[in-house]
Structure 1
Amino acid sequence: MKILLAIDGSAQSENAVRFLLKFNFSHNDEIMVLNVISHVPFKDDRGSYYARLRQIKQEIGPQILDSAINILKPLNTKISTALLDGYPDRIILEAASEFGADLIVMGARGLKGIKSLMVGSVTRSVSINSQMPVLVVKSSQLETTDTLKVVYATDGSNFSINTGKFLSKIPFNDDAEITIINVIPSAYMDIPERYWMEVDEKIKDEIAKIREIEFKVADKIIEDAREVLRSRFSKIKVSIKFGDPSLEILNEAEQSMTDIIAVGSSGMRGVKGMLGSVSRSILGHAKCSVLIGK
């Protein structure tokens, strides 16, 4: 597996570097550590100031890369570095493509002064526009556990299936645990609770029949996913929930103290590059790391 690890020297990006120590990489895997000197346009008398600022960044860049290399020393894999200049999101995507990366790994720097789990603009842009899976390591995930836990959310779509196949290729340690979750939207979701009593019995019977069918479909989705993941995970749990997909996935992850939520991105029709509503919500609100499958 080839991984592009994009870092900026922040504590959040260092967390992303350390997070890779949780995986069982071999000498066949490759990691490229990339630091981008951000492009700053300037005019007139500000030119000399920004030129000096760029020079400082160029001097700091190698130190940022060396720090990451020192952290990654325990890994038994090929590691290279790159120091490039330009707009960070564009350069990261271009470098990942040229490197032939299977996965982009980034820290979620966030927004200063805002008490939110929202990721920063560069991470968000890469997550949206990348043609390959992106693993966003959240800064709030400071504690390390001996056993890495994954929640894989699937709805049976091609996007979800591809995410499952990708998970089966990631070099997890043998004791890694995965929970496969399928969420069935509530039949009453768009009916205000105070009007539930007005739904007549005949409709309730029809909903019950539909729910039985949905259960069978969910069981099939779970079993298909389990079959794909058996080659990688020896510890597989399953969960079928009712309700809002984003909320149920986040609740499952929090209750099981998950390290990674893996979710496919179906996108939004007619809007190039946009993440689907569930993947966008998970990326914005998850306390743990998020893998966006493509």
Structure 2
Amino acid sequence: MIEKILLADSGTGHSEEMLKALMEIPSIQRANVTVLHVVPSQITTDAMTEKWEEGGKVLANAIQTLNLDPTHVNGILRQGDPKDVVLKVAEEIDADLIIMGSRGLKRIISILENSVSQYVFQLSSRPMLLVKDDIYVKKIRRIMVAVDKSEAAQSCLKLALFFLRDIKGGQLTLVHVDPNLTGKSDSVVGAAAEKDPVVAAAGAEAKKAGVSYQCIAASGKPGEEICRLAEENNIDLLMLGSPDRRPSIAKGLPDLDRLLGTSLSDYVRVHATCPVLLTRTVAAYNQ
């Protein structure tokens, strides 16, 4: 279940709107929300005092704007490097989901410009919902899950079913892309798509959970196809598993493949025209 949500609020972007849309989902309306604002360290005492005052106002405005049940919301104002503080607070509260804004920086630029959301995702095993600054946050009705045989994809599917089970008129779109790096793309929908065993297995889970769904089997460049299909189907939330390929000895280090932009999750994070929720490990979401 999603019982503890961490909203890393910088005072800009659409993360607050995303949380409000998410909290309309019946299955998570009782979740406890921690709103975090991080004040960067300053050189002088006067500057530090000023930043603390500004940070306190940002935090207070965010809590007021969200209009959540006071018994289910907590505000935290911390000083330090935002990347490290978000990770630390997520561990402290044992967050089931982290929500962050994202500038959608491409590839190496995300390293050079010190992307907080990219860094946090590399070093956290917790699901992350990334909201780019240039997208429109909609009421969540249509969720797409990119499925494959990975454990992370199964986690995405379980979480999507958890979200959709109580959404009236909710629709799940299951997409499996067979990689075709030549650039040729193709897709089939419905019964024809369910001939794909990966899609068929995911569809069976959706049917068992009583969730309305459609299946799409596609071929082409996975990142491009997933983003294209999400846009064509007017998806409100795109969910994607992102398996951690680092050896256990390097779990504390960023995955350079992702940081350099060669991963599927990085492509989708940058190019999707809707919010993107990324997961890694399977969690026990009640269905």
* TM-score range relative to shorter protein: 0.7 to 0.9
RMSD: 3.0
The answer (yes or no) to whether the contact 1:36–1:88 under 8 Å persists in 2 is: yes
Is 1:254 matched up with 2:231? yes
Give the length in aligned residue pairs.
255
Look up the equivalent residue of 2:56 and give its one-letter code.
P
After superposition, the C-alpha distances for 1:88-110 in whole angstroms (9 at most, x for unaligned) are 11111111111011110111145
Give the number of the structure whose alpha-carbon radius of gyration is greater. Answer: 1
CA distance in 1, matches of 2:80, 2:241: 29
Q: Could you say if the C-alpha distance between residues 217 and 253 of structure 1 is closer, same or farther in structure 2, counting changes exceeding 3 Å?
A: closer
Is 1:183 matched up with 2:177? yes
The residue number in structure 2 matching 1:52 is: 46
CA distance in 2, matches of 1:281, 1:140: 16
User: How much has 1:286 moved relative to structure 2?
Assistant: 1.1
The residue number in structure 1 matching 2:197 is: 220
Equivalent residue for 2:101, pick from 81, 98, 107: 107
The residue number in structure 1 matching 2:87 is: 93
User: How much has 1:71 moved relative to structure 2?
Assistant: 2.4
Equivalent residue for 1:279, pick from 234, 242, 265: 265
Q: Secondary structure at 2:244's aligned position in 1?
A: coil
Equivalent residue for 2:129, pick from 128, 135, 150: 135
The residue number in structure 1 matching 2:154 is: 161
Q: Secondary structure at 2:162's aligned position in 1?
A: coil
The answer (yes or no) to whether the contact 2:194–2:215 under 8 Å persists in 1 is: no
Structure-1-length-normalised TM-score: 0.76
User: How much has 1:241 moved relative to structure 2?
Assistant: 0.2
The residue number in structure 2 matching 1:264 is: 241
Q: Could you say if the C-alpha distance between residues 173 and 122 of structure 1 is closer, same or farther in structure 2, counting changes exceeding 3 Å?
A: same
User: How much has 1:67 moved relative to structure 2?
Assistant: 1.7
The residue number in structure 2 matching 1:29 is: 31
- State the identity as a percent: 27
User: Comparing 55-64 with 136-145, which one deviates more in the overlay?
Assistant: 136-145
Is 1:83 matched up with 2:83? no
User: How much has 1:32 moved relative to structure 2?
Assistant: 0.8
The answer (yes or no) to whether the contact 2:23–2:29 under 8 Å persists in 1 is: no
CA distance in 1, matches of 2:162, 2:79: 32
Structure-2-length-normalised TM-score: 0.77
Q: Structure 2, unaligned stretches of length 5 or more?
A: 185-191, 281-287
The answer (yes or no) to whether the contact 2:238–2:276 under 8 Å persists in 1 is: yes
The residue number in structure 1 matching 2:278 is: 292
Equivalent residue for 1:125, pick from 119, 131, 147: 119
Look up the equivalent residue of 1:80 and give its one-letter code.
N
User: Comparing 9-18 with 159-168, which one deviates more in the overlay?
Assistant: 9-18
Q: Structure 1, unaligned stretches of length 5 or more?
A: 41-46, 194-214
After superposition, the C-alpha distances for 1:15-43 in whole angstroms (9 at most, x for unaligned) are 33444344335564211111111234xxx
Q: Could you say if the C-alpha distance between residues 159 and 59 of structure 1 is closer, same or farther in structure 2, counting changes exceeding 3 Å?
A: same
The residue number in structure 1 matching 2:59 is: 65
Q: Could you say if the C-alpha distance between residues 250 and 75 of structure 1 is closer, same or farther in structure 2, counting changes exceeding 3 Å?
A: farther
Is 1:240 matched up with 2:200? no
The residue number in structure 2 matching 1:196 is: none
After superposition, the C-alpha distances for 1:233-282 in whole angstroms (9 at most, x for unaligned) are 63211100011111110000010111211111123445744247111110
After superposition, the C-alpha distances for 1:192-231 in whole angstroms (9 at most, x for unaligned) are 99xxxxxxxxxxxxxxxxxxxxx99963212322333446
Following superposition of structure 1 onto structure 2, how do residues 9-20 of structure 1 map, counting pairs within 5 Å? 9-20=11-22
The answer (yes or no) to whether the contact 1:183–1:248 under 8 Å persists in 2 is: yes
